[in-house]
């Protein structure tokens, strides 16, 4: 029995090197346990990197990059099972989304991708005046451990600004030149609202057409659990409950 | 004189005035970032919805008018000359600042700027172009810009607009020339079409000549209001398929006529049902991505109207039962695309999976989204529903019970 520790828990590189050694020694997936927890070290005797293993398909690498961020504790075990079968000769496995294992991993990857996309959409910066100039700061709680994967998006976009994104797992700081990661922070570390936020809330109310109110559609696109840290979401209840009377008012006021 | 409005007041008025434009898309642009530009902004080519309003519509762009003053008299529009609404006007600087401040906080992907017509079409277009020019050249803004192009504006202004904008649009508003003349007396179908043609030529030209000046890389779009006049769905879809074919539009937005304050007496008192808009979007989708023609979609519909209770793909399948069931292990892509419940992505997954094994129901359950609805229409290695299609009650088996319509649902 082998016990492999992957720490930090989204470290695909650590998984890769452990998996390579396990494969080289032909260690069956059933004989390996994977854990994030550094104290769990029981059987650390992974064999050395003895021989080169066959190259894995590109599609596996992409899948693994996403799955690595997933919070499911079985992510590494499942990835190793897939790798085991690929190396054992099931070369076309990645093209078989109907395979139970591939299907499960693809669903995990899709969940991570959705979470990444959501983060690029729902992070809200507040501008904080610091001694050395303004800094955009956001606190955000992603579903999975995606901060490292999403950071390049924010640098592409805000390279010329100083910014920080704080999440419960990890924080990132960008000083216009370099990225620095720091420990995670709780919601209480969120910066206070700035003046522009109030304009944004007014914009959000004004751009809504009460004649089209549709709470169900709203919930399907932006489920309640993702609204908690969106400043504009505070207005949703009132907007919906007044929509009917505003619309009737418009229809009633027509000159006819 | 009333007292001067604050920027926040103007924002409220001019966002409210712009909200009847359905488009808020930020997709289809070029990939770019600000790593070396010193400015801000990026675009991945895929749009991002930063929020959703309580009607479930995507908020991607700061969608505002430069001014809601207008000397045109379009009956369906809250901003028309004779309307009693409060008027406001942004300065160019105010729009630029709002865009940048919202963008920095990650509220938006960029700006969608339109305007009522003041003084002259050229004057108005020049103001819109100044906003875009200032954002791009003074602030190196790399976010998304969608500009409304004023049909009567001069070609030079349109050319400059295309240089800065990711997308340009002109709203055709009503599906027939006759309706346009009745509801928008200053607008001319011929002018709108001429401008669309001009845009499509410039867009295509810039695409083929990669080194020439940029021109609206995310193409052009338009909006059609449904339910304000008496045009049927078949008229709307015929107009739409003509527009897609002739001018290579990226998107047509269908906007169910919605009551406005200060409405004109020319208009119906009641809003058009949202389900009508929804069915038109579904039909539009079938024409663009599923190989259906407008005629096939509308065949057998009463009074040229789509069935409000069935999505048009299912309705088509029920009228063409002889084409089903389709064998998922053998059928061509075109036939699979016609199966109700199989989307483009599911079809591609089926095609790739069946190279490796004969697909069974369990496989389909993993590959497709709406499994139960599919059953009467497909054959798999372990499922042969031939008899089911003979049942006259099929409609009640597969049709969803009438429910609260949801857009794009
Ligand atoms: S031109 Fe017509 S549609 Fe446009 S703002 Fe003026 S009145 Fe409204």
Who's near A37: CB < 8 A, 6+ residues apart? A5, A7
What pLDDT is stored for residue B370 in this prediction?
74
Round to whole Å and give the CA distance between B345 and B337: 10
What pLDDT is stored for residue B397 in this prediction?
58
Confidence check: pLDDT of B204 > 60: yes
State the pLDDT confidence band at B351, using cuts at 50, 70 and 90: very high
Site to substitute for ligand 1 among B18, B19, B63, B70, most atoms within 8 A of C-beta:
B70
State the total domains in chain B. Answer: 2
Residue B293 sits at the chain A interface (C-beta within 8 Å):
no
Q: Are B105 and A251 in contact (CB < 8 Å)?
A: no
In this structure, is residue B103 part of a structural domain? yes
Tell me the CATH number at B158.
3.20.20.70
For residue B322, count CB atoms less than 10 angstroms from its CB and return exposed for 0-12, middle for 13-18, buried for 19 or more.
exposed
In this structure, is residue B285 part of a structural domain? no
Give me the mean pLDDT over the B253-261 stretch. Answer: 84
Tell me: do B264 and B345 sit in the same domain.
no
Tell me: do B375 and B237 sit in the same domain.
no
Tens of pLDDT, residue by residue over B281-330, are 999 999 999 999 999 999 888 889 999 888 999 999 988 888 899 999 99
Tell me: do B251 and B124 sit in the same domain.
yes
Tell me: do B163 and B40 sit in the same domain.
yes
What pLDDT is stored for residue A41 in this prediction?
53
Tell me: do B188 and B85 sit in the same domain.
yes
State the pLDDT confidence band at B394, using cuts at 50, 70 and 90: low
In this structure, is residue B277 part of a structural domain? no
Residue B62 sits at the chain A interface (C-beta within 8 Å):
yes
B14, B54, B143: best mutation site toward chain A, by most A Cβ within 10 Å?
B54
Q: What is the ipTM of this complex?
A: 0.91
Q: Are A204 and A235 in contact (CB under 8 A)?
A: yes
Coil/strand/helix, residue A75: helix
Tens of pLDDT, residue by residue over B70-129, are 999 998 888 999 998 999 999 999 999 999 999 999 999 999 999 999 999 999 999 999
State the pLDDT confidence band at B389, using cuts at 50, 70 and 90: low
Nearest CA in chain A to B362: A98
Q: Which residues of A touch B13 (CB under 8 A)?
A: 206
In this structure, is residue B216 part of a structural domain? yes
In this structure, is residue B409 part of a structural domain? no
Task: Please report the atom of ligand 1 found closest to the CA of residue B173.
Answer: 3
Confidence check: pLDDT of B403 > 50: no
Q: Are B406 and A209 in contact (CB < 8 Å)?
A: no
- A19: part of which helix (H) or strand (E)? helix A12-24
Which domain covers residue B354, as residue numbers? Answer: 321-398
What pLDDT is stored for residue B198 in this prediction?
92
- Contacts with A, B 20-59, CB within 8 Å: 20, 33-42, 44, 48-59
* Residue of higher predicted confidence among B108 and B262: B108
Tell me: do B263 and B374 sit in the same domain.
no
Short-list B178, B168, B175, B171, CA closest to B198: B168
What pLDDT is stored for residue B383 in this prediction?
86
Contact residues of ligand 1, CB 6 A cut-off: B 70, 72, 74, 77, 79-80, 116-117, 184
Round to whole Å and give the CA distance between B83 and B81: 6
Who's near A114: CB < 8 A, 6+ residues apart? none
Q: Separation of B265 CA from ligand 1 center, angstroms?
A: 17
What pLDDT is stored for residue A149 in this prediction?
96
- Contacts with B, A 121-140, CB within 8 Å: 121-127, 136, 138
What pLDDT is stored for residue B407 in this prediction?
37
Q: Are B34 and A157 in contact (CB < 8 Å)?
A: yes
In this structure, is residue B296 part of a structural domain? no
Confidence check: pLDDT of B404 > 50: no
- How much is the mean pLDDT over chain B? 88
Tell me: do B192 and B126 sit in the same domain.
yes
State the pLDDT confidence band at B387, using cuts at 50, 70 and 90: low
Q: Are B54 and A161 in contact (CB < 8 Å)?
A: no
Task: Please report the atom of ligand 1 found closest to the CA of residue B171.
Answer: 3
Closest CA–CA distance from residue B144 to any residue of chain A (Å): 12
In this structure, is residue B403 part of a structural domain? no
Nearest CA to ligand 1 atom 5: B116
Q: Which residues of B touch A98 (CB under 8 A)?
A: 353, 357, 359, 362-363, 366-367
Round to whole Å and give the CA distance between B295 and B309: 19
Tell me: do B177 and B241 sit in the same domain.
yes
Q: Are A217 and B55 in contact (CB < 8 Å)?
A: yes
Residue B85 sits at the chain A interface (C-beta within 8 Å):
no
Q: Which residue has the tokens 């797992």?
A: A169
State the pLDDT confidence band at B408, using cuts at 50, 70 and 90: very low
Closest CA–CA distance from residue B360 to any residue of chain A (Å): 9
Q: State the virtual CA torsion across A87, A89, A95, A96 in degrees, nearest 10.
A: -110
Q: Separation of B184 CA from ligand 1 center, angstroms?
A: 8
Could you read off the pLDDT tens digit of each residue along chain A, which spans 256 residues? Answer: 888 889 889 999 999 989 988 888 889 999 999 988 766 555 555 555 555 666 788 999 999 999 999 999 999 999 999 999 998 888 888 888 888 999 999 999 999 999 999 999 999 999 999 888 899 999 999 999 999 999 999 999 999 999 999 999 999 999 999 999 999 999 999 999 999 999 999 999 999 988 888 899 999 999 999 999 999 999 999 999 888 888 877 766 554 4
Give me the mean pLDDT over the B250-277 stretch. Answer: 84
B242, B272, B302 — which closes off a domain?
B272
Tell me: do B341 and B227 sit in the same domain.
no
């Amino acid at each position: 029995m082998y016990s492999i520790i992957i720490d930090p828990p989204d470290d695909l590189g650590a998984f890769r090197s452990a998996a390579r050694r396990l494969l080289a020694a032909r260690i069956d997936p059933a004989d390996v346990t994977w854990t994030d927890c550094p104290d769990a070290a029981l059987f650390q005797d992974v064999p050395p990197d003895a021989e080169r293993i066959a190259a894995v398909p590109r599609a596996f690498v992409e899948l693994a990059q996403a799955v690595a961020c997933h919070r499911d504790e079985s992510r590494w075990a499942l990835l190793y099972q897939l790798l085991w079968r690929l190396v054992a000769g099931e070369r076309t496995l990645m093209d078989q989304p109907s395979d139970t294992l591939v299907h499960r991993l693809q669903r995990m990857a899709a969940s991570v991708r959705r979470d990444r996309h959501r983060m690029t959409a729902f992070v809200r910066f507040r501008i904080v005046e610091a001694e050395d100039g303004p800094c955009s700061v956001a606190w955000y709680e992603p579903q999975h451990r995606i901060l490292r994967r999403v950071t390049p998006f924010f640098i592409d976009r805000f390279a010329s600004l100083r910014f920080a994104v704080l999440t419960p797992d990890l924080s990132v700081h960008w000083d216009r030149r370099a990225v620095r990661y720091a420990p995670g922070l709780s919601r209480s570390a969120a910066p206070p609202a700035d003046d522009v936020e109030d304009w944004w809330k007014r914009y959000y109310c004004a751009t809504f057409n009460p004649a089209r109110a549709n709470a169900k559609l709203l919930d399907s696109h932006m489920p309640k659990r993702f609204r908690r840290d969106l400043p504009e979401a505070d207005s949703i209840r009132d907007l919906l409950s007044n929509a009917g009377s505003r619309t009737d008012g418009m229809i009633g006021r027509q000159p006819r | 004189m009333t007292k001067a409005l604050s920027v926040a007041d103007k924002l409220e008025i001019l966002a409210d005035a712009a909200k009847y434009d359905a488009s808020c898309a930020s997709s289809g642009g070029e990939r770019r970032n600000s790593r070396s530009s010193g400015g801000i902004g990026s675009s991945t080519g895929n749009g991002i919805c930063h929020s959703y309003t309580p009607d479930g519509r995507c908020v991607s762009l700061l969608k505002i008018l430069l001014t809601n003053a207008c000397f045109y008299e379009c009956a369906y529009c809250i901003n028309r000359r004779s309307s009693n609404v409060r008027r406001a006007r942004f300065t160019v600087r105010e729009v630029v600042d709002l865009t940048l401040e919202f963008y920095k906080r990650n509220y938006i992907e960029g700006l969608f700027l339109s305007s009522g017509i003041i003084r002259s079409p050229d004057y108005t277009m020049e103001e819109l172009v100044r906003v875009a020019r200032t954002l791009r050249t003074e602030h190196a803004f790399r976010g998304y810009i969608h500009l409304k192009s004023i049909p009567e504006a001069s070609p030079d202004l349109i050319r400059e607009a295309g240089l800065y904008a990711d997308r340009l649009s002109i709203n055709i508003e009503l599906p027939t020339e006759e309706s346009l003349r009745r509801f928008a007396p200053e607008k001319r179908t011929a002018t709108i079409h001429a401008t669309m043609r001009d845009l499509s030529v410039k867009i295509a030209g810039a695409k083929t000549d990669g080194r020439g000046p940029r021109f609206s890389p995310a193409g052009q779009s338009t909006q059609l209001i449904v339910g304000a006049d008496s045009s049927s769905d078949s008229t709307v879809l015929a107009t739409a398929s003509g527009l897609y074919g002739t001018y290579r539009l990226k998107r047509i937005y269908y906007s169910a006529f919605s009551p406005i304050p200060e409405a004109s007496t020319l208009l119906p008192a009641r809003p058009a049902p949202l389900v009508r808009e929804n069915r038109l979007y579904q039909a539009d989708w079938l024409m663009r991505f599923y190989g259906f023609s407008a005629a096939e979609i509308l065949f057998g519909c009463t009074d040229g109207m789509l069935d409000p209770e069935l999505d048009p793909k299912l309705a088509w399948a029920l009228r063409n039962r002889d084409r089903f069931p389709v064998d998922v292990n053998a059928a061509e892509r075109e036939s699979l695309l016609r199966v109700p419940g199989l989307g483009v992505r599911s079809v591609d997954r089926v095609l790739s999976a069946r190279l490796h094994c004969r697909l069974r129901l369990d496989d389909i359950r993993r590959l497709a989204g709406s499994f139960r609805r599919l059953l009467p229409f497909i054959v798999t290695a372990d499922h042969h529903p031939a008899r089911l299609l003979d049942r006259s009650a099929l409609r009640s088996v597969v049709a969803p019970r009438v429910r609260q319509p949801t857009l794009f649902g």
